[in-house]
Amino acid sequence: MDNSGKVDLSTQWSTFTSALGPIKPLMNLLAVIGMLIVAWAFVKWAWDRRRGGMSMGGGGGQGLSGALIVGLLLSAPGFVIPAGLEVFDVVINALVNIWKKTAGA
């Protein structure tokens, strides 16, 4: 929690990753590559669906899910973890506010 009493995990993650120094550009590169893999997988899946074929594995789901897993793992430190922490911050702060209002009433 910061001085205002709010949970702020995303800022702490940013502080942690900026302290990594020379590894930070590599993490950014992996995040970009991961997001490109995810985007390419969706475009390929949509194109195959439009053409009526499913060349990405049995029914199209296996190739798409495999590409999503790889892409999300590569982009986790630069995109997935910060986005997840932002959502977690909002949920935790909302629950804390609700608890404070019900306990204080």
17-20: Cβ within 8 A, 24+ apart: 17/77, 17/78
Q: Let me know: does 8 contact 82? Beta carbons within 8 Å.
A: no
Which tens digit of pLDDT belongs to each residue from 43-99? 988 888 888 765 545 555 677 888 889 998 888 888 888 889 999 999 999 999 999
Q: Encode pLDDT of 17-35 as tens digits.
A: 888 888 888 888 888 999 9
Going by the DSSP 8-state scheme, the letter that residue 59 receives in this structure is G
The pLDDT value given to residue 39:
93
Place of tokens 């190739």: 63
Confidence band for 36, pLDDT divided at 50, 70 and 90? very high
User: What pTM was estimated for this model as a whole?
Assistant: 0.63
